[in-house]
Chains A and B, each alone.
Chain A
C-alpha cells in the first residue's frame, strides 16, 4: 500500500506548479546572464532581483497557508519570523564586510564602532560562518514560534485572540529592533553588504544565483508542506480546523499538533526572509511592522486559502500589482486598493483565485460518468480546504 508521506504521487496542479518554478529558476538567470544587454530577450538584473523578492514572498505565503489554510491558525505576526530569518542572514553579511566598512574595523560592523562599542556582543559570535548563520535562520524563528506557541496553544488561545497576540509579538519586536542598544543597527538596520560566500552580492551572477536559490527554496518548501498536508498529520490539522473539540475527544493533543505546524511554518518563513535580504540589500526594523504580516495574509486570501499553490500565486500577483501601482501616479492609493481587493475577494471569491478557478474548471469539465463524481469531489476537498472560522 501507498505510504502517506513522500510517495512522489503529486497531483497534476502540483506538477505544473513545480515545472513553472523550475523553468523560472533556470530561464530568468539564463536570459539575464547569457543574452546581450541590447537583446529583446535580455532580462535586466534589477528585474531578476525583483522577481527574487516575489519568490521569497511566495515562500512566506506558503508558510502562512500551511497553518491558516489547513489548521485554521490565523497568525498576524508571520512577518516577524520572516524578519528574524532576514536579520540572521544580515548579520552574516555584515560580518563579511570586514575592513571594507567606513570605519574599517576588522570585526565590528560600522554601527557598533559608531556607538563606541569595544567588542562584539555575544549574540553576534559565530555569524562570520555561513553554516552557523544558515542554522540560525531556521532555529531563531523556530525557537520563538515554539515558545510563543507553547504558551498560547497550551492555554487554548484561539481565533481572533491568537491573531491579536501575534500582532503584539511582531510589534514588540519592531520596538526592540528600533533601539540602538539592542545591537542590530537600530533604525537603519543592516545594510551595505559586500559579499556572500565570497561572491559580490551586487554582481549579476550572484543575483542570478540568489534568484535560482530562491526558486529551489520555494520548490522545497512546497514539497515539505505538501508532504505534511498529505500525511495523516495533515488530516488531523484539517480536523482541528473544522472541529477542534471533536478532535480533542478523539484523543488527539490538539496543542501538540498546532505547536508542530506553527514551528515548522515559522522555520519556512525564516528561510524566506534570509533569501530576501541579500536580494534587496537591506534589513531594518520596518520588516516587523504589523501591517506587513497583515499584507502577507491578504496574499494568501487572494490566492486561495488551503491550496498552497494559490498562496504562492497570490503573493506573486498581489506584489506584482503593488510594484505596478506604487511606481505610477496611483501610488498613494495602494493601501486602499489592497483593502478593497481583500474585501472583494472575501465577499466574491472566498476560495481565492485558485479555488474559484478550480470550481469553475470543475463545473465546465463534462462529468466522465453520469451524475456526481465523488472521487473528484474528495480529491478536490483535500485541495480546496473549506474554511470554517468558528467551531
Chain B
C-alpha cells in the first residue's frame, strides 16, 4: 500500500447527528492515504453518504476533527470551501445532473468553475466521455439517457478535473454487470494514478472482486476495517 506520510483524509472521533439524540455517524476515526482505494459498505442508513458529505464539507461534523487535503474542515471558513471542493470529484447517489443542459454542458460545469477555456474544456469533456463510452451522447439531454448512462455522465463530471480525491456514492447502482466492471476498472485506474478513491456501495460482489481496503459501517459505527489484499482477485 501507498505509505506516503501526508494522508489525504483523517477523521478523529467524528460524530454526526442530524437530529438530537440519533447519530448518523458515531465516534469514527480513520485515515486514507493519498492514492488509496477504499470501499465503504454497510446496510442502508449506516452512514455512508453522511461520511462522504463530511469529506467535501456538505455537512459539518457534530463532534471531532476532519482533515481533508491538509485542511481542517470544521475550522474552514465559508470562502475556503469552494477551493477545497475543486480538488474533490463527487459522484452523487442521485447524480445531480441538470436536465436543461446537454451531457457535454453538464460535464463542462466542473471545468467552468476552475476557469478552463472553452475549447480546452470541450476536448477534455470529449476525452472523458469517450473513456466512459458516452461520446455519442454528448449533445443529448440527461432525461433522454438510461439510468446507467446518466450515472456515467455523473462519473465523467467527477473525473474531468482530475481530482485529488474521488468520492463515489453507489456509482454502479444502475449499471448492468458488464458495465459495472468497466466503470469500476476506470475508477480503480484513477487511484493508480494517485487519486484517493472512496466508493460507497452495498454491492459486496464488487468489493470482493477488487480486494481493496473495505470499511464497514453499521448504525454510524465502524464495525470492520479490512486491509487490502496484495493483488486484485479475479471473479
Asked if A pairs with B, the answer is: no
Q: B residues within 8 Å of A by Cβ?
A: none
Q: A residues within 8 Å of B by Cβ?
A: none
